[in-house]
Amino acid sequence: MYPWQSKLPRVAGPFLQPMAMFLVCVVFISLILVTGLVDLRRLEQTLLSFMEGRGLDVSAKIQRDAQENFTGLTQVLQGEHAGNVLLSLTEETFLPQESFVNFLVGLSRRLAREADQARTDRETLKRMAEENHLWLLALLDEEGRVVFRTRPFSRSLLARAASVVAGKRDIDIDVFREKLGSIALRRGPERGTLLVVLDGQGLRYWGMKFALQKAVEEAVTGQKLPYVAVVGTDRAVLASVGDPSEKQADDEYVVDGILKGRTAVSHRKFDFKDRKILEVVSPLYLDGVLVGAVRVGLGREDADQVLGKNRMLMIISMVFVMSIGLLSVWLLYRNQNRHLARMEEMGKELQKSERLSALGQLAAGVAHEIRNPLNAISMASQRLQREFQPMDEQRSEEFGKMTVVIRDEIRRLNGIIEEFLAFSRSQRLELLEYPVETVLQKLVRLVGEEAAPRGIAIEAVGLDSATPILMDVDKLQQAFLNIIKNAMESINGSGKISVFLEAAGSDGVSVRITDTGGGLTPEEMDRIFNPEYTTKEKGLGLGLPIAHEIIRSHGGDIRVQSQVGVGTTFDIRLPRKKGETEETKNTKRKDASGTE
Backbone angles phi, psi at 269, to 5 degrees: -110, 145
Q: In Å, what is the CA distance from 423 to each residue of 222, 414, 480? A: 102, 15, 15
Amino acid letter, residue 413: L
389 Cα distance to chain centroid: 92
Strand partners, 154: none
Q: In Å, what is the CA distance from 462 to each residue of 218, 436, 444, 501, 527? A: 106, 11, 13, 5, 30
> Across the chain, what does the average pLDDT equal?
78
pLDDT tens digit string along 112-145?
Answer: 888 888 776 788 888 888 888 898 888 888 888 8
Give the integer Cα–Cα distance in Å for 85 and 160: 13
Q: Does residue 445 share a domain with residue 554? A: yes
Q: Does residue 380 share a domain with residue 434? A: no
Give the integer Cα–Cα distance in Å for 69 and 363: 121
Domain closes at, from 180, 206, 232: 206
Which strand (E) or helix (H) includes residue 292? strand 289-299
Q: Does residue 505 share a domain with residue 436? A: yes
> Quick one: CA dihedral 53, 56, 62, 67, positive or negative?
negative
Backbone angles phi, psi at 179, to 5 degrees: -70, -30
Q: What's the pLDDT score for residue 392?
A: 78
Q: In Å, what is the CA distance from 7 to each residue of 4, 16, 340, 344? A: 8, 21, 15, 10
Residue 169 sits in a domain of what CATH number? Answer: 3.30.450.20
Give the integer Cα–Cα distance in Å for 185 and 181: 14
Residue 356 sits in a domain of what CATH number? Answer: 1.10.287
Identify whether 362 is part of a domain.
Answer: yes
Contacts for 285 with CB less than 8 Å, ≥ 6 apart = 63, 291
Identify whether 58 is part of a domain.
Answer: yes
Counting the structural domains of the chain, the total is: 4
Residue 558 sits in a domain of what CATH number? Answer: 3.30.565.10
SS3 label, residue 231: strand
Taking Cα atoms as reference points, which of 505, 499, 519, 520 lies closest to residue 571?
A: 499
Identify whether 451 is part of a domain.
Answer: yes
Strand partners, 433: 470
Q: Do 165 and 140 form a contact (C-beta atoms < 8 A)?
A: yes
Identify whether 214 is part of a domain.
Answer: no
Q: Do 581 and 572 form a contact (C-beta atoms < 8 A)?
A: no
- Domain of residue 400 covers 351-425
Q: What's the pLDDT score for residue 89?
A: 35
Q: Does residue 196 share a domain with residue 152? A: yes
Strand partners, 503: 509
Strand 266-272 and strand 275-286: pairing? antiparallel
Domain closes at, from 206, 241, 271: 206
Q: What's the pLDDT score for residue 8?
A: 44
Q: How many residues does the chain have?
A: 596
Q: What's the pLDDT score for residue 124?
A: 85
Identify whether 410 is part of a domain.
Answer: yes
pLDDT tens digit string along 294-330?
Answer: 988 888 888 788 878 887 887 888 788 778 877 877 8
Q: Do 561 and 521 form a contact (C-beta atoms < 8 A)?
A: no
Q: Does residue 556 share a domain with residue 466? A: yes
Give the integer Cα–Cα distance in Å for 154 and 163: 17
Q: Does residue 473 share a domain with residue 590? A: yes
* Alpha-helix runs per DSSP H in 426-575: 436-451, 473-490, 522-527, 543-553
Identify whether 337 is part of a domain.
Answer: no
Which strand (E) or helix (H) includes residue 117? helix 96-118
Domain closes at, from 383, 401, 425: 425
| CB-neighbour burial class of residue 435 (10 A; exposed 0-12, middle 13-18, buried 19+) | middle
Q: Give the mean pLDDT per block of 10 residues along the chain (596 residues).
A: 43 55 75 81 84 89 89 69 38 58 83 79 85 88 87 86 86 76 84 87 87 89 86 85 61 69 80 81 89 88 81 81 78 81 83 70 69 78 77 79 79 70 62 88 85 88 79 86 88 89 85 90 82 58 80 89 90 77 44 42
Q: What is the 3-state secondary structure (H, E, C) of 455-519?
A: CEEEEEECCCCCCEEEECHHHHHHHHHHHHHHHHHHCCCCEEEEEEEEECCCCEEEEEEEECCCC
Q: Does residue 547 share a domain with residue 516? A: yes
Angle at 74 between CA 72 and CA 80, to 5 degrees: 85
Strand partners, 140: 146, 193
Identify whether 338 is part of a domain.
Answer: no
Q: Do 531 and 542 form a contact (C-beta atoms < 8 A)?
A: yes
Q: Does residue 586 share a domain with residue 440? A: yes
Give the integer Cα–Cα distance in Å for 562 and 557: 17
Which strand (E) or helix (H) includes residue 593? helix 582-595
Q: Does residue 581 share a domain with residue 443? A: yes
Q: What's the pLDDT score for residue 427?
A: 55
Give the integer Cα–Cα distance in Å for 467 and 501: 10
E-only strand ranges, 24-145: 136-140
Give the integer Cα–Cα distance in Å for 298 and 48: 11
Q: In Å, what is the CA distance from 284 to each residue of 49, 125, 435? A: 20, 31, 111
Angle at 172 between CA 167 and CA 174, to 5 degrees: 150
Identify whether 212 is part of a domain.
Answer: no
Q: Does residue 575 share a domain with residue 437? A: yes
Q: Does residue 374 share a domain with residue 241? A: no
SS3 label, residue 88: coil
Q: What's the pLDDT score for residue 203?
A: 85
Strand partners, 292: 232, 284
Give the integer Cα–Cα distance in Å for 526 and 516: 20
Q: Does residue 196 share a domain with residue 106? A: yes
38 Cα distance to chain centroid: 20
Contacts for 450 with CB less than 8 Å, ≥ 6 apart = 488
Which strands sit side by side in the sheet containing 567-575, from one edge to the other?
456-461, 495-503, 508-515, 567-575, 557-563
Taking Cα atoms as reference points, which of 239, 227, 235, 299 lies closest to residue 269?
A: 299
Taking Cα atoms as reference points, which of 574, 542, 554 lies closest to residue 422?
A: 542
What pTM value is reported for the model? 0.50
